[in-house]
Structure 1
Amino acid sequence: MEIVLSLIIVLLLELGVVGFFRIKKKFSLEKLNIEEEQRRIIEAAEIKAETLIKEAQLEAKSRLLEMKGSFDAETQETREELKKEARRLSKKSEKLDQTEDLLIQKEAELHGKEAEINEKLEAVASDEAYYANLVEETRKELEKVSGLTLEEARELLLKTLEEEARHEGAKLVKKITSEAREQADKEAKKIISTAIQRYAGDFVAERTVSVVHLPGDEMKGRIIGREGRNIRALEAATGIDLIIDDTPEAVILSGFNPVRREVARLSLEKLISDGRIHPARIEDVVERAGKEVDLAIKEAGEQAAFDLGVHGINPELIKVLGKLKFRTSYAQNVLQHSFEVAFLAGVIAAELKLDVKLAKRMGLLHDIGKAIDHEVDGAHAIIGAKLAKKYGELDCVVNAIAAHHEDQMPTSVYDYIVQAADALSGARPGARKESLENYIKRLEDLENIANSFDGVVNTYAIQAGREIRVITESGKISDEDAVLLSREIARQIEENLTFPGQVKVVVIRETRAVEYTKK
């Protein structure tokens, strides 16, 4: 058994030694292969490195050559620019040298002229002293010859210059006035004619009726009543005096309040129509007539505002406006007149590219004071302005009402528009009438004002007092003086007379040559 084991051990040892040597041999071969491969890789790397180095050297040389060429080109361009700049500076330096020489030359010339001027100034100063002495001697000689002192001669000269200045000023006023009229007349005539043409109001305004016609004279007794109780009751209820005289079939109503007079007229007509006339019935009829008139007043005011497109007026102010239906001025119905003024003011404002509604509002309310001017002291324009302000109208509307007769100074173009529209409505033919005595007196006043001026020979008021022609002496009044005379007469008329519309003042200066034949 031991022998077997020994054999096995020996066998294993032999096998291990053989395997070892085989492995060792294999490792030696592989090592040789690895070293050979390393050698080849190193040689290939060295060859590649040499190639890369050569390529890098070639590329560096190429870039160096390229940079050198670019540098040389830039250097050459810079050199050319520097040469050009040097040539330009050289030319500029030459010009500066020439300018410097020229300035030196001019400076020398100026010094020479300065010396020459100084010499002339000295000569002028000497001459001035000489002439001053000469003027003083001449002045003294003139004072001796003329008998006038220096102050008297100065006053005489100033007076002469003042007359010449007035003469020239009159010429200038005449020229400016003519030019202004040429420009303004065209536009003004266009606007005013457009306003008038577009308004189609009636020429004859409605008048307040103050006479009640009766069906017969026997009705007068029934109106008077037993012992006059009916007429007393009617007068007490209405505040109007009833005049029953010999006028056939008519009763005259007399009272300063047009609204009360209208209430009395309606009441009397109702009583006559009904036939029952006694104090109790009279009070009932007067009360109902008063309500009807109040309603008619309100409706009249509302209708006027509606027709004109004027909205937002205080209801109380509408009632006051409606009262103008029963108010007349120179026989012209004031409500109708206010309607006309509002329409004309709106047309004028439209032509001037202004607020048409505002102009109409001012025109409609401009105479609102006439509704209560018999109850309140003062000018109707101021009364109307206070009334409008009380009921919340705008300040511009209030001012237009106050300024339409210049009781207050106009402050805007709307104020002048309302003035113009008011004059157009009141001055058109047939709009108003006045008594013969007042008419004649106004014409006489116009002529007397013109005749009060020196140089006026005759004066004629024509066209119902809307034009006054003044005949002057040609020897006393020149053409320029005629312009000043017309303006002065117009100013005196404005200050001393009240008149509707405008008064045209025409000053006539003419020269007449008269010769007679011999027998």
Structure 2
Amino acid sequence: MNTIILFIVLPIAGIVLGWTIRWLWARFQLSASEQKAERVKQDAIREAEAQKKEILLNAKDELIRERNQQERENRERRAEVQRYEARVNKKEELVDQKAAECEKKEKDFIEKSAAMKKREAALSEQEEMYRKELERISGLSAQEAKDLIIKNLENDAKHDAQALLNKIEQDAQLSAEKKAREILVTTIQRIAPETTSDITVTTVSLPSDEMKGRIIGREGRNIRTLETLTGVDIIIDDTPEAVVISCFDPVRKEIAKESLERLISDGRIHPARIEEIVQKVTREVQNKIYEEGEKALFDLGIHNMPTEGVRALGRLYFRTSYGQNVLTHSKEVATVASMLAAEIGADRELAKRAAILHDIGKGAETDSDQNHAEVGAELARKMGEDPRVINAIAAHHNDVEATTLEATLVQIADAISAARPGARRETIDNYVKRLENLEAIAENFEGVEKAYAIQAGRELRILVNNEKIADNEVKQLASDIAKQIETDLRYPGRIRLTMIRETRIVEYAR
């Protein structure tokens, strides 16, 4: 019986024990999972907190940076506004000062005008009183006094004329040898050297029209860089496969042309490459300028020339005058002047040195409004040249009087080189038309009787009607004519205006 009960109880006890063990194990597993879940939750919370802090820190840094940037911009704007206000205030002060000066000048002018009118009235009364008193003292009327004075003047003039004729005859005898030399010079002047002409081309050929777009670059940065570095204007129009370079300075124009040709040949066109090529070409052109100056002096056998003189001569290599290369022209003038000096017994080396330097003012780097003869003379003076050389340079266009025979030889040699057939491209028709236009501009002004263009258009002599234009109005008339010429005509160098106003009285004796 006990055995039966034992067999029954033991299995039941085993089942209960197993279920209890599984329940305990399940509880243990559940507790471990809950602990793990709690740990994961805590880790997630900590990570979220860390990310939150990092995001807040980044946001604060960005806010600080934005605030600092805004403060810098505000400071710059305030500084710019302050500078602008300072400029405006300064301009206002200048305007006020000029206005005050103008008011003062106007007041002074009015006072002076009134004083002059009073003075003129007083002088007129005094003149009339003197005239009446002189008539009373002399017992002659005004007309009788004039006739007497005229008769005395006629006698004096006849005496002076006879004395002048005698002096001219004596001078002619004394200057016979000088006249013979001038005849020899005139004979030599008929020699015609070979024709030399140089054509300056300012057009750059392109391999195709696509190259125009590459030259312009994105948003125009390439062409803008090239124009800024060289100081020229590059004109890109509808002309097929060509661009035009425009600049008054021939050296800068040559640098731009050579740089553009190299960029086109190289194919790499961008701002950095443009800057590199322009710097390289500029150095080469400067070296070429010095080499051309040295070569010209070496060919002529001229020594002891200062560096600035050599460079000024070299720059003439890039200058032309009516198609004639100025350096070639100067060398030719030096050769001809040397030949003339040798023939007539003048100083050959002095004439040659003055001749090679006569147009050096065209190669001088200056912003002066003087003509090239004046600029060249000043440059030669700074280089310590002989005063005779300086005079020859200044006088080669008759701006000043030639004081030496060598200066006259330079004038003649200059005329030979410039006027011989084929030397310059300006035709006689264009030349005559230019002079006619020059005279016509002056003759269109009221009060001008006649205008004559002389010195190959470098000087304009104007005869003024003395009845229509007073002495104090001549200067203003000359200024108006000069402004009109500057507006209407294109011409090299400078034109000198000489105003002539004279009073002529004609009387007949019957």
Please give the TM-score of this superposition, normalised by the length of structure 2: 0.53
Change (3 A) 1:354 1:256: same
1:61-100 superposed Cα distances (whole Å, 9 cap, x missing partner) = xxxxxxxxxxxxxxxxxxxxxxxxxxxxxxxxxxxxxxxx
Q: Does 1:338 align with 2:330?
A: yes
Secondary structure in 2 aligned to 1:260? helix
> Aligned ranges for residues 3-82 of structure 1 at < 5 Å?
none
Alpha-carbon contact 2:371-2:494 (below 8 Å) kept: no
Rounded Cα–Cα distance in structure 2 between residues aligned with 1:377 and 1:452 = 30
Among 272, 297, 302, the residue aligned to 2:289? 297
Matched, 1:224 2:211: no
Indicate how the Cα distance of structure 1 residues 331 and 185 shifts in structure 2: closer, same or farther if over 3 A, else same: farther
1:227 deviates by 1.8
Q: Is the 8 A contact 1:196 1:344 kept in 2?
A: no
Q: Could you tell me whether the CA contact under 8 Å between 1:362 and 1:397 is conserved in 2?
A: yes
Task: Report the AA paired with residue 195 of structure 2.
Answer: D
**RMSD over aligned Cα atoms:** 4.4
Matched, 1:280 2:276: no
Distance 1:382 1:171, change over 3 A: closer
Q: Percent identity?
A: 46
Q: Tell me if the contact between 2:217 and 2:223 (Cα under 8 Å) persists in the aligned partners.
A: yes
Counterpart contact for 1:447–1:461, Cα < 8 Å: no
Answering whether residue 387 of structure 2 is matched by residue 395 of structure 1, we say: yes
Cα distance, 1:357 vs structure 2: 1.5
Distance 2:206 2:313 in 1: 32
Task: Establish whether residue 256 from structure 1 lines up as the match of residue 252 from structure 2.
Answer: no
Match for residue 376 of structure 1 among 360, 364, 368: 368
What code does the residue aligned with 1:242 have?
I
- Offset at 1:301? 0.9
2:262 and 2:292 map into 1 onto residues whose CA distance is 22
Amino acid at match of 2:372: H
Among 308, 315, 322, the alignment partner of 2:307 is 315
The answer on whether the counterparts of 1:230 and 1:277 sit within 8 Å (CA) in structure 2 is: yes
The 5-angstrom pairing of residues 73-112 of structure 1 reads none
Contact 2:195 2:421 in 1 (8 A): no
Specify which of 320, 324, 327 is matched with residue 319 of structure 2: 327
SS of the residue aligned with 1:253?
A: strand
CA gap 1:173/1:304 in 2 versus in 1, 3 angstroms:
same
Residues 201 and 169 of structure 1, relative CA distance in 2, 3 Å threshold: farther
1:6 counterpart residue number? none
Q: 1:460 to 1:235 in 2, by over 3 A?
A: closer
Q: Alpha-carbon deviation of 1:190?
A: 2.8
Aligned partner (choices 407, 418, 426) of residue 415 of structure 1: 407
Helix, strand or coil for the counterpart of 1:351? helix
Deviation per residue, 1:178-206 (Å, 9 max, x gap): 99999877643432442552x63424x21
The CA deviation at 1:391 is 2.6
Aligned length: 321
Q: C-alpha separation between the residues in 1 aligned to 2:218 and 2:142?
A: 98
CA contact (8 A) 2:223 2:234 kept: yes
Following superposition, the deviation at residue 169 of structure 1 comes to 8.7
Q: What do the CA deviations read for 1:212-269 (whole angstroms, capped 9, x no partner)? A: 1222222211211222121112112211110001122211101121101001111111
1:123-175 CA distance string (max 9 Å, x none) = xxxxxxxxxxxxxxxxxxxxxxxx99996775464365467669879988999
Of 251, 257, 264, which aligns to 1:265?
A: 257
Q: Which amino acid is 2:416 matched to?
A: L
Q: For 1:439, give the aligned amino acid.
A: L
Report what 1:245 is aligned to.
237
Deviation at residue 446 of structure 1 after TM alignment = 10
Determine if the alignment matches structure 1 residue 441 to structure 2 residue 437. yes
Q: 1:385 Cα shift?
A: 2.0
CA distance in 1 between partners of 2:441 and 2:325 (Å): 27
CA distance in structure 2 between the aligned counterparts of 1:419 and 1:242, rounded to whole angstroms:
39
Structure 2, unmatched stretches of 5+, are: 1-140, 459-481, 486-492, 496-510
Give yes or no for contact 1:373–1:380 (8 Å, CA) kept in 2. no
- Change beyond 3 A, Cα 1:179–1:249: farther
Aligned runs of 1:134-145 on 2, under 5 Å?
none
User: Aligned pair in 2 of structure 1 residues 264, 151: CA closer, same or farther (>3 Å)?
Assistant: closer
Give the structure 1 partner of residue 347 of structure 2.
355
| Structure 2 residue 184 is matched with structure 1 residue 190 | yes
Q: 1:278 to 1:180 in 2, by over 3 A?
A: farther
Question: Which deviates further from its counterpart, 231-240 or 384-393?
Answer: 384-393
Whether the 8 Å contact between 1:402 and 1:408 is mirrored in structure 2 is yes
1:202 aligns with 2:195: yes
8 Å Cα contact 2:438/2:453 also seen in 1: no
TM-score normalised per structure 1? 0.52
Paired with 1:295 and 1:333, the residues of 2 have a C-alpha distance of 19
CA distance 1:446–1:153, shift in 2 (3 Å):
closer
2:131 aligns with: none
Distance apart, 1:392 and its partner CA: 3.1
Higher relative contact order (CA 8 A, sep 6+): 1
Letter of the 1:420 counterpart: I
Return the offset for 1:375. Answer: 3.2
Structure with greater Cα Rg: 1
Counterpart-to-counterpart distance in 1, 2:416 and 2:351? 15
Q: Structure 2: how far apart are the matches of 1:148 and 1:408?
A: 44
Tell me the residue number matched to 1:504: none
**What are structure 1's unaligned runs of at least 5 residues?**
1-146, 454-458, 467-495, 501-519
Deviation at 1:308, TM superposition (A): 1.3
Please give the per-residue CA displacement for 1:284-317, whole angstroms capped at 9, x wherever unaligned: 2112211221122112111211111111111332
Over 3 Å counting, the alpha-carbon distance change for 1:180 and 1:248 in structure 2 is farther
CA contact 2:189–2:416 (8 Å) conserved in 1: no
Aligned equivalents of 1:178, 1:355: Cα separation in 2: 24
